[in-house]
DNA sequence: CTGCTCGGACCTTCAAATCT
DNA sequence: GATTTGAAGGTCCGAGCAGT
């Protein structure tokens, strides 16, 4: 406790840190409906659902957040803080050590991927040592309840302004935090939008950056090496984005809507719930580090020199800072590509994916986007890229380290029936080689398969994923991405289909499969495939996505 | 010019369905 | 029991807009 203050102080105060802006309210919950018609009804088979529980509403639902923050946190906080204290002096936080450590990691990073993190610890001598502890601390906290939050009231206040009161930050600080308010998140709804940011802060900052790196780890995720130790760095393009603060919305779930919200209870970030997901990564430096001030960052850079985080690479914020996007033309893409190239993608995903990857020409192909398994709550809200480090890079940037905990995920419901699956075609037919090669591919559609529209196999060329289908494959999409694309249903069946449209809704709404429509309620499964449009993966997708000319 | 919001594309996970 | 399918449940890109 006492300790905390110290540390915190340093932290909070950093003006440089940006504040998270945050949030939108959760609209989600309400959303609605309208949009998703389909769901309204569940397929009959699905009806079963579980009674249980899930709540849907959740997620963002505030409740969840609440948990995070919990007032209780104090205790927890302690923990964390404690750790901090261990750190050397905080205020100064020794950059060099940090750096060193980082560098070390850096090297290793590649292979280790996620794992790398740990290293941090080791290596570095001293610093390393510290880290670990922290990390642990941190993690524990989570586990327990999320609690992590603890901390600094201050921070919280800043960011979230707990009190609801208003907004703003204000005051901040300090003092007391109060918890009363508590839970920032909880309120979050309110976050009003007002701007959090106030001034100064925004202005600067960003530099931090980190580096970048891009590293992806083998697993496909970004690796951690970067500056903060583990934090991975987003691709340049992304970086720019990162800056944003959060907001949020969709979330998932929500629930509501459809089914209900009511339905569910919501899930949430409850503390109790353990997060199933991954365990935390070990320690990262990040945790230790208070948000760096500009100057600090600057130092960083210097120290690192270009090398490490070179600007080149990712474009450090600064340099481009301005407008990241704009300035860089395609940058994002590029980055992506690079990333991809390095990484391996997981096969499965490939399958599902558009398929671009595989053989397509590099140019055309759109790189696959890698996601973290579990984004932290802050990033989640903001819909921004997170990383595996626990205080994730973004949170560090914004000074949200305290609240940087993994978001909770819903448990997948069991017992839901699904329609009959398509069977996979005999390999031979398809085409040949390509197909064959990929063992993984699923869905390849045989031409002849009944139900399917037959798409010419040829189209498939891309061995890759059949799933995706051909059509325009040209990737057209690629760049477009969403663009204006009208939504569509397309995409792959799965996802796209209508089902999702909004996240929030999507889910809850009921899972209706796309083909659901087909089913009319009666009992049988209609064969979805043929009928429904939706599913066919292919076809539809195309249409929709494609932007057709 | 810069940052924030947020729609929806893209991903990953994992239970059901199917195969062996 | 192993494998495949495909939707649930998530992440986060990037357009559009607002503030400075
Ligand atoms: Zn994050
Ligand atoms: Zn975070």
Question: How many helices (H) and strands (E) are present in chain A, helices listed first?
Answer: 25, 0
Q: What is the pLDDT of residues A178-191, one digit of tens each?
A: 333 333 333 333 33
Q: How far apart are CA A95 and CA A83, in angstroms?
A: 18
Q: Which ligand is nearest to the CA of A387?
A: 1
With a cut of 70, say whether residue A285 has pLDDT above it.
Answer: no
Q: Which ligand is nearest to the CA of A374?
A: 1
Cα A401 to middle of ligand 2, angstroms? 6
Tell me the backbone φ, ψ of residue A481, rounded to 5 degrees.
60, -130
Identify nearest nucleotide to residue A58 by CA to C1′ distance: C9
| Mean pLDDT in residue range A17-39 | 37
Q: How far apart are CA A177 and CA A152, in angstroms?
A: 8
With a cut of 80, say whether residue A256 has pLDDT above it.
Answer: no
With a cut of 80, say whether residue A401 has pLDDT above it.
Answer: yes
With a cut of 80, say whether residue A370 has pLDDT above it.
Answer: yes
Identify nearest nucleotide to residue A492 by CA to C1′ distance: C6
pLDDT value of position A426: 52
pLDDT value of position A417: 83
Q: How far apart are CA A462 and CA A432, in angstroms?
A: 11
Task: Confirm if A95 and A407 have CB atoms less than 8 A apart.
Answer: no
Closest CA to A131 of A141, A145, A117: A117
Q: Which ligand is nearest to the CA of A382?
A: 1
With a cut of 80, say whether residue A153 has pLDDT above it.
Answer: no
With a cut of 50, say whether residue A251 has pLDDT above it.
Answer: no
With a cut of 50, say whether residue A378 has pLDDT above it.
Answer: yes
Asked if the Cβ of residue A416 lies within 7 A of any atom of strand C, the reply is yes
Cα A177 to middle of ligand 1, angstroms? 23
Asked if the Cβ of residue A507 lies within 7 A of any atom of strand C, the reply is yes
DSSP-assigned beta bridge partners for residue A216: A222
Q: What is the pLDDT of residues A189-204, one digit of tens each?
A: 333 232 333 333 332 3
Task: Confirm if A373 and A277 have CB atoms less than 8 A apart.
Answer: yes
Task: Confirm if A391 and A404 have CB atoms less than 8 A apart.
Answer: yes
Whether pTM > 0.80 for this model: the answer is no
Q: What is the pLDDT of residues A502-544, one digit of tens each?
A: 333 333 333 333 333 333 333 333 333 333 333 333 333 322 3
Question: What's the 3-state SS for A466-491?
Answer: CCCCCCCCCCCHHHHCCCCCCCCCCC
| Residue A284: exposure state from Cβ atoms within 10 A (0-12, 13-18, ≥19) | buried
| Mean pLDDT in residue range A449-457 | 32
Q: How far apart are CA A247 and CA A126, in angstroms?
A: 38
Which chain A residues 328-387 have CB under 7 A to strand B? 345-346, 348-349, 352-354, 366-371, 373, 382-384
Q: Specify the higher pLDDT residue, A343 or A419.
A: A419
Beta strands in A129-198 (DSSP E): none
With a cut of 70, say whether residue A277 has pLDDT above it.
Answer: no
What's the CA A346/C1' B13 distance, rounded, in angstroms?
Answer: 12
Asked if the Cβ of residue A442 lies within 7 A of any atom of strand C, the reply is yes
With a cut of 60, say whether residue A265 has pLDDT above it.
Answer: no
At A406 the three-state DSSP class reads strand
pLDDT value of position A424: 59
Which chain A residues 175-214 have CB under 7 A to strand B? 193, 195-197, 202-203, 206
Q: Give residues with Cβ within 8 angstroms of A190, minimum separation 6.
A: A25, A164, A167
Q: Token pair 């192909």 is at which residue?
A: A365
Whole-Å CA distances, A404 to A56, A378, A394: 22, 6, 9
Average confidence score pLDDT of chain A: 39
Per mean pLDDT, which of A63-67, A96-100, A425-429 is the most reliable? A425-429
Which chain A residues 90-149 have CB under 7 A to strand B? none
Q: Which ligand is nearest to the CA of A384?
A: 1
| Mean pLDDT in residue range A23-42 | 33
What's the CA A301/C1' B16 distance, rounded, in angstroms?
Answer: 52
Identify nearest nucleotide to residue A495 by CA to C1′ distance: C7
Which bases of chain B are contacted by protein, using any atom under 7 A from a CB?
Answer: 1-19
């Amino acid at each position: 406790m006492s300790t905390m203050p110290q540390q915190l102080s340093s932290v909070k105060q950093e003006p440089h840190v940006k504040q998270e802006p945050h949030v939108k309210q959760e609209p989600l919950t309400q959303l609605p409906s309208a949009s998703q018609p389909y769901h309204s009804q569940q397929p009959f088979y699905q009806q079963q659902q579980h009674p249980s529980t899930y709540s849907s509403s959740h997620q963002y639902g505030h409740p969840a957040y609440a948990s995070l923050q919990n007032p209780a946190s104090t205790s927890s906080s302690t923990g964390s803080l404690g750790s901090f204290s261990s750190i050397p002096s905080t205020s100064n936080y020794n950059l060099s050590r940090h750096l060193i450590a980082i560098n070390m990691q850096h090297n290793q990073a590649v292979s280790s991927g996620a794992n790398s993190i740990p290293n941090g610890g080791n290596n570095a001598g001293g610093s390393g040592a510290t880290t670990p502890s922290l990390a642990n601390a941190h993690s524990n906290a989570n586990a327990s309840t999320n609690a992590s939050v603890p901390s600094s009231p201050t921070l919280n206040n800043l960011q979230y302004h707990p009190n609801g009161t208003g907004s703003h930050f204000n005051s901040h600080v300090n003092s007391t935090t109060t918890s009363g308010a508590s839970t920032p998140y909880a309120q979050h709804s309110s976050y009003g939008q007002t701007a959090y940011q106030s001034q100064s802060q925004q202005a600067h900052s960003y530099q931090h950056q980190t580096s970048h790196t891009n590293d992806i780890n083998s697993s496909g995720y970004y690796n951690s090496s970067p500056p903060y130790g583990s934090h991975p760095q987003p691709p340049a393009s992304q970086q720019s984005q990162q800056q944003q603060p959060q907001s949020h919305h969709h979330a998932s779930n929500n629930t509501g809507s459809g089914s209900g919200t009511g339905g569910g209870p919501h899930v949430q970030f409850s503390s109790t719930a353990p997060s199933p997901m991954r365990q935390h990564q070990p320690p990262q430096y990040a945790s230790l580090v208070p948000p760096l001030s500009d100057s600090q960052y600057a130092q960083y850079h210097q120290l690192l020199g270009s090398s490490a985080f070179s600007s080149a690479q990712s474009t450090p914020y600064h340099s481009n800072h301005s407008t990241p996007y704009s300035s860089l033309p395609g940058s994002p893409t590029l980055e992506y590509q690079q990333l991809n190239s390095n990484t391996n993608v997981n096969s499965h995903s490939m399958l599902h994916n558009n398929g671009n990857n595989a053989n397509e020409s590099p140019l055309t192909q759109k790189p696959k986007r890698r996601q973290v398994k579990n984004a932290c709550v802050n990033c989640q809200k903001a819909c921004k890229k997170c990383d595996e480090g626990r205080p994730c890079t973004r949170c560090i940037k914004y000074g949200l380290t305290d609240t940087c905990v993994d978001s909770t995920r819903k448990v997948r419901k069991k017992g839901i029936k699904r329609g009959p699956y398509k069977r996979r075609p005999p390999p031979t037919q398809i085409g040949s080689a390509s197909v064959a090669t990929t063992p993984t591919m699923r869905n390849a559609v045989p031409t002849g398969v009944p139900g399917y529209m037959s798409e010419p196999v040829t189209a498939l060329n891309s061995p890759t994923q059949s799933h995706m289908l051909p059509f325009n494959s040209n990737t057209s999409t690629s760049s477009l991405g969403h663009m204006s694309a009208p939504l569509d249903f397309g995409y792959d069946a799965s996802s796209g289909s209508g089902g999702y449209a909004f996240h929030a809704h999507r889910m809850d709404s009921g899972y209706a499969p796309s083909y659901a429509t087909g089913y009319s309620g009666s009992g049988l499964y209609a064969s979805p495939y043929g009928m429904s449009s939706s599913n066919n993966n292919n076809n539809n997708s195309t249409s929709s996505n494609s932007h057709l000319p």
